[in-house]
Structure 1
Amino acid sequence: MMEEYYKEIENEYKKIDLKWLNLHYKTSVGVVIFAFFVECVIGILMYYTDEISTTIPIYLVKFLIVPCVFNLFCIIINNQVLQSKLIKQESKIYITSLTYVLICFVLFTAHNTFTALYFIFALPILLTTIYGNYRLTTITAVSSMLALAVSELFTKWDVDKESIWGDGIRMGNFLISIFVLIAFSAVCMVVIHFEREKNVASMQKEMERYKLQKKLQIDELTGIYNRIGFRNAIRDMEEDDSDNTYIFVMIDIDNFKILNDTLGHVTGDHCLIKFGEILKNNGEGAIPFRYGGDEFGILFKNYILEDVVGVCKKIQRDFASIRIDKREGLPLTVSIGIAKYSNSMAPSALIINTDKALYESKIVKNTITIFKES
């Protein structure tokens, strides 16, 4: 149960990561669209200020159409990856992060005459911190710095760009930007460290709360659910609006008071413990609980009636076969009542119907009775 609950928490974290992944992708789309409009505005300004050193068609192709088409292609590929059911979520996160780096590389290469664009590479790094993955952030940071270095040192898309090797100021800006990105990446790692510590502490608190909640639902003597656990199971059943079917079983140990009075409460408790073990070992997926005293119950989910009756018969056989010291003359038998649940039925009606069937069984003893509407 603890492992299942832990997996549930992990799945919730994955859902949050998935929401952020979709926002991560939309941010990439937003950057591409925003960059397109900025490029249009800058092109118009440069045209009216005679800053364009080439023909208008070449300018449009080189600084507007080619970068936008390439980035649009990246966005389309990224979208196909996100829609694919064959690719794991972790791989999608890596691909989306690195695609954003590639988009920044294209934008910077096309417009690296603007030194302010040095720090566009900080955005892909920043967006990975939410995932809390050191490896992802490190790979994205290294990729961003490599993309910046390749664009600045080895690529000359704009003929008006000053060579970094012959411009001391540009070389200084480049080195400063690399150091700033390194420092920024280090800060992101610190943020991830504390974010992960917070998540671990939160998960530990949640697990402790879950353990306490489960402890309150467990009968201390038999180790199966108590009446609190039973009420929670009935509540879940009532709130279930799917096609699941439920069958409720109530069980009463025959002659238990005589056993207690003649052999003592220690023997009686031992008998209850053994019976609790029998209930736990029968009915996979069913919920056993101690209703009170020597009365027990089982809530079966998606069982057919014949299978429930078969489980009940096995419970009778298993209980009759156990050995309790000094029980001579006291056969260990149980009486059982069974009733079906329907979505239109109140849970209290289900309990009443099952109790009626149990009452009929207790008259004869060691009998299984199925409730039937009169």
Structure 2
Amino acid sequence: MKKIHNEDLDSMYIGSVQEEYTKIDGRWLRLHYKTSVGLVIFSFLVEFAMGMLLINSEMLTTTVNRFFWKFLIIPSGINLICIALEMFIMKSKRFSQNYKIYSVSLIFVCICFVLFTAHSTFVATYYIFAIAIMLTTIYANYRVTSITALTSIIAIVVSELFVRWDVDKISIFQNTHRLNDFMIALFVLITFSIVCMVAIRFEREKNSASIQKEIERKQLQKSVHMDEMTGIYNRKAFHAELKNVEDTTPDRHHILAIVDIDKFKNINDTWGHHVGDRCLIEFAKILKEFNKNITAFRYGGDEFCLLFRGIDMENAKSICEEIQLKVNGLIFEDYPNLKLTASFGLAAISDEVDTVRLFIHADRALYEAKKTRNAIRVF
């Protein structure tokens, strides 16, 4: 059972959720990269098929060599360079995942720019950039999507105004239909980008709400297993942990200590229950100092249970002695005559000793320790 302080619960859970989100982003990044590879391969096959069709149909307006160099070899070669760069970035351990996300997103836009420039006579190629923008929305990162969208729009404008790769391409300033297609494409891409940003906003709000609800659920679950006064685990949590030990621990290497504050009834009768409560709180604070070695539970009243994992009996006894020394050294300034002592009973689990017998054995050892008080006994 994890030992989590109340003030750390939110940050620890949010951290674990963010880690899961990072893993999901990593899986999507790999798919994003594979999509760009698939687009390059698909566009090459389509262009090759179209080239063969044009050659056989005698619709080709240029030489075969010029056609293949201009519309197949050079565009595909540039895109292969883009893919090689992507592969280098993806495989390199020097780059962070965030850097890889930006790189793959922008290289995808470059691939779209090459395909659009080579085939801009087809109106449908305007909207290939929508794919580049859409693929970034999974990251739920405003900056990645906005930069990709802006780069895509700039790529369209640059290609239309300053690049004329296809000699058959009609300038948008020479043809009203081409100008209309260009303006409509810009409007659609800008609108699509805004819609993607809105979708990201609602996705992030949904994720935040889910995280908050899960935190509240975990806080409620944790409060059920916490002792309100001392801030350590309660009896219910102790029984749940014993069951977990019995069900899931193959080596069964655990030690249980039952601890009892000596003459606690006398403390309540002499100084009052509020002082008794203060003693319990101070005792629990000492136990929390050893939370790397033990899981502490308040079993009831002045009785506590300590569960040791992965250490032998000598080390367990040594830790109990340290706790005992700290308890003996407690000073209550308002009650200088009040001195606390504690008795410990220890027992180890084994193949022959289940958790029920473990508790009985530790309780018997505590009974022996109580005879002399301020003592440590092992069953």
Q: What's the TM-score, normalizing by structure 2?
A: 0.86
Q: Structure 1: state its 5+ residue gaps.
A: none
Q: After superposition, give the CA deviation of every residue in 1:103-139 in whole Å (9 maximum; x if it has no partner).
A: 1111111211211100100111111112111111110
Within 2, Cα distance between the matches of 1:119 and 1:61?
Answer: 25
CA contact (8 A) 1:97 1:140 kept: yes
Residue pairs, 1:198-209, within 5 angstroms: 198-209=206-217
CA contact (8 A) 2:230 2:281 kept: yes
Within 1, Cα distance between the matches of 2:53 and 2:225?
Answer: 72
1:29 counterpart (34, 37, 43): 37
Q: Structure 2: state its 5+ residue gaps.
A: 1-7
Residue pairs, 1:97-176, within 5 angstroms: 97-176=105-184
SS in structure 2 at match of 1:160: coil
Within 1, Cα distance between the matches of 2:217 and 2:195?
Answer: 33
CA contact (8 A) 1:238 1:343 kept: no
Residue pairs, 1:219-234, within 5 angstroms: 219-234=227-242
Sort the Cα spacing of 1:22 and 1:232 in 2 relative to 1 into closer, same or farther, 3 A. farther
Mean Cα deviation higher: 131-140 or 268-277? 268-277
CA contact (8 A) 1:283 1:311 kept: no
Residue pairs, 1:1-374, within 5 angstroms: 1-2=8-9, 3-234=11-242, 237=245, 247-284=255-292, 286-301=294-309, 307-324=315-332, 328=337, 331-340=339-348, 346-348=354-356, 350-371=358-379
CA contact (8 A) 1:100 1:124 kept: yes
CA contact (8 A) 2:252 2:351 kept: no
CA contact (8 A) 2:308 2:316 kept: yes
CA contact (8 A) 2:331 2:339 kept: no
Post-superposition shift, 1:162?
2.0
SS in structure 1 at match of 2:306: strand
CA contact (8 A) 1:245 1:302 kept: yes
Mean Cα deviation higher: 203-212 or 260-269? 260-269
Mean Cα deviation higher: 236-245 or 160-169? 236-245
Mean Cα deviation higher: 349-358 or 280-289? 349-358
Aligned-partner residue type, residue 141 of structure 2: N
Question: Between Structure 1 and Structure 2, how many residues are aligned?
Answer: 370
Identity of counterpart residues, as a percentage?
A: 49
Within 1, Cα distance between the matches of 2:106 and 2:252?
Answer: 45
CA contact (8 A) 1:244 1:302 kept: no
Aligned-partner residue type, residue 86 of structure 1: R
CA contact (8 A) 1:263 1:327 kept: no
Sort the Cα spacing of 1:242 and 1:32 in 2 relative to 1 into closer, same or farther, 3 A. farther
Within 2, Cα distance between the matches of 1:143 and 1:223?
Answer: 54
Within 2, Cα distance between the matches of 1:222 and 1:271?
Answer: 10
Q: What's the TM-score, normalizing by structure 1?
A: 0.87
